[in-house]
Structures are given as structure tokens and as C-alpha cells.
Structure 1
Amino acid sequence: MERKGDGRTVWAKPLHLLSSSSCWRVCNLCMAFFFALAAYVQVNDPDAGIWIVAYLIPAALSFLVGLNPPVTENFIWKHLSLMHICMCFVVATLWGWYLHRNAKNSIFHEEEGREFLGLVIIIIWMLLCRDSGKYLSGFRISAAVFITVFPFITWFYYYINKELRTSWPEHCKNTI
């Protein structure tokens, strides 16, 4: 709390709240970039249309949160994110069951395994974003930082590990 020269009291936000809000915005903008990049690399996939839309929706929603965190309280934002979470959950459950029953290699060697991981990242991120306009806790910020860093590290790992990519279908080998 500070006092102005005219005797008015002005409530100042604590510094840690400002940094939490800034960190949350940066995480959302980074995830928007990641989801947009994930949509871009789908262009040579046989079922590209589905996956481009699957990644562009969270890219747009994350971008909006990065610009204006209270947008998560908007009726359209809430319902679009919930609908997308539900659809991703259904597909991730089906892919998870399929992989459990039929995977011949490591889950990351299977195209469905990488798609499954992408869906899991979408679900977790969208759930983390929900109601973030009202309440930003230390846990939410910590989880956001971890989840933001994870896909970029994973992508980098795939990029430098040529041996891991040898069993990939041809359309996956030409990605970024």
C-alpha cells in the first residue's frame, strides 16, 4: 500500500503477482508457438487436416490467454476449450488403448504414440488454462513452466537423435 501526495491510498500489486502474471503470459505465448509449429509440421501427414485443426485450436486459445489471461472466463473460450479437451481425450483414450494392445516398439517409435503424446500435451495445457483468469497459483505457474519447456526439449531430442527417427514413416522424417 502506498500513499499519494493528495492523501489517497493506492493499493499496489505485490511484485510476485506481477511476475506470475508475466510468466503465465509468456508460457501461453510459447505454447501457442509450439502448437502452431506442431500444426505446421503436419502438412505432409496423410491425415493432416485433422491434426492441423487439433493443434491450431489450442494455439489460438493459448495465444488469446497470452494476450489477455481473463479471456478464459469468456463463454466462447470456455466452451471451445472444453469441447476440444473432450474430443482430444476420446482420441487419446482410443490411441492409448490401441498402443497398449498393438505397439511393437517404444511408444515414441510409433506414429500413434507421438500423436498420443501431442494429445496429452493439449489436454494438460488446456486444463491448466481453464479458470486461470481468476486464479494463478504458484503450482499453476510451476506446472506451466515445466509443460512449456517439455515439448521443446522433446522436439530437440527427436531432432538430434537420428537413430530414434530411423523407423519413422517417410512423411515424419521431413519435419522440422
Structure 2
Amino acid sequence: MKIPPYILLVLATLLWGGNFVIGRAVSGAIPPLTLAFLRWCVAFIIFFPIAFRQLKREWPILKNHWFIVIILSLTGVTAFNTLVYIGLHYTTSINASLMNSSTPIMIYILSFIFLKEKLSKYQLIGTVLSLSGVAFIIMGGSFTRIVNFTFNKGDLIVIAAVFCWSVYSLLIKLYATRLPGSLPF
């Protein structure tokens, strides 16, 4: 059975957003490192049977590029999730989600600096729309609210997580085309 792409997009959004809500809800009961570890244990149990054949087939490629695989694991899985869960101890899931919405912008900036990529007209329009939406939510209809907006410790930790995810995304962009085979990342 093939699942339609729009269903998968909605599911991905729900799971991604739900991660912030659940992370905040259990922030007082489960330490951030434990939560990140448990989350990836569950993911491993679910996805290992699905990915085993491809992993076995691609193992020589992964083994040859072990260093980049470790860097991707540290930035995209370990650091991002752990920092988000730590940040959620000090901020709301709404604030964390708003900070997370800056991810594409940070990826653009890193791509411009390190890959010398230019922003397309559509990326620029998307960035303006995204920032406008975030500003509208933060302002709650009041311009004075944006002037008085401050970052708390948790917001800054989530921004560090966003930076880690942006580095991960940049590395994927850089290495996915250079590695042979059909790596899942």
C-alpha cells in the first residue's frame, strides 16, 4: 500500500510538532538526555526491521564514510533532540516551535556562507512569509509586544538546537551528492 505524499507531509508535521508538545509535557518528569535516548530507542525498534536490508547492502559505504556518519548522528540526532528537550525545561512548546521555524533561514545563511549558494526568489518569499507568520504569532496583534519580546534561556538553547540541525542539513546537502549508492540520508 502506497501512502499519498500529502498524508505523509501531514503526518511528519504532526510528529515533529508533537515532539515539542510531548517534550514540554514530560520535562519535569523525564530528564532531557533520558528522553532523547528513549525516543531514539523507540525509533530504532520501529525502523530497524524496515531499514535492515538497505543498511546491510549499504554498510560498506557507511563504513568508508564513518566520520561524516558520526558527525551527522551527533548534529542531527543527538545534539538537536537533546538540546530541544533541555530547552523545553525553560520555555514553552510554542516558543520552541517558533524558534524552530527559523531553521530554513539558518540553513540559507549557512549555505550562503559555506556553499556560496544564492537565495532564489521563492526562498526569499518563503522566508518573508515565514518570518511574518512568526512575528504575527509573537505580537498577538500588538506591535508593542514585539518590541518587548525577550529570549529566555530555553529559547536560546532551542536556537542552539536549530543551529545543530542546520549544520546537519548543510552536511546532508554537501555529502548526499558525493557519496555513492542510495543512502537513506
TM-score, normalised relative to structure 2: 0.34
Name the larger-Rg structure. Answer: 1
- Name which structure has the greater RCO, CA cutoff 8 Å, separation 6+: 2
TM-score, normalised relative to structure 1: 0.36
